Amino acid sequence: MRGRSPLLVCAVALVIMCFGAVTGCSSGSSGGSGSAPPAARPADVGSITPCDFFTGDELSEYALHDARPVSDPRGCLWEGSAFFEGASTALTLTLLPRSADAELRTLRTASGERITERSAIGGRRIWRNTTPGNDVRCELLFSIDGSSAAVVRLSEFLGVSDVRPTQQDLCDGLDKLAPRVEGKLPAVRS
């Protein structure tokens, strides 16, 4: 009997480990109980409602309010202040019915465009547009697939506050927001 006890213990441990792997149970440190599973990505751009892009918690965290739909292409504009303290900003999400490459070709035909590719996030190619204009703004163009892309623009909300952010302030705000936006877009496809 004594010789079988370690073998029996090993067999029971093996069964428990296999059962845990099949059911998804784990006692390891890969998240543990209480950690939320990652949110599912939308299947495609058509399944995104622009003004519902951010959760209520994210709207509070980013101090965004007064969502307004913009159309053709589909988008939403929020007012906010979290990206530059003391100044009111406008954050716009626009879902484009064309690829990022097609959008880049269009942008590059206009004079004065300053477009640079920035570091990819999660394998997704992203470009920054810092074209000078009458308003202070910064944009990020996110590649999605061969027929769609997304643009996130942060600009000052003119006439609302006396404090004016610089273009670098706005680009810094978008850089902080970029990973969150990337995680809410459809998975990267070629």
Q: For the chain, which residues make up each domain, given as ranges?
A: 45-184
State residue 111's pLDDT score.
65
pLDDT tens readout for residues 84-101:
666 678 899 999 999 999
- Of 85, 91, 106, the C-alpha closest to 151 is 91
Top pLDDT among 167 and 139 is at 139
- Of 61, 55, 59, the C-alpha closest to 36 is 55
How far lies 171's CA from each of 90, 153, 179, in Å?
A: 13, 9, 14
Q: What amino acid is encoded at 187 in this protein?
A: A
CATH fold, domain 45-184, is: Protein Transport Mog1p; Chain A (3.40.1000)
The two tokens of residue 110 are: 């206009």
pLDDT tens readout for residues 66-80:
999 997 779 999 988
Q: What percent of the chain has pLDDT over 70?
A: 71
- Given a contact cutoff of 8 angstroms between Cβ atoms, the answer to whether 80 and 64 are in contact is yes
The two tokens of residue 9 are: 């213990």
pLDDT for 119 beyond 70: yes
pLDDT for 22 beyond 70: no
The two tokens of residue 128 are: 């920054």
State residue 158's pLDDT score.
63
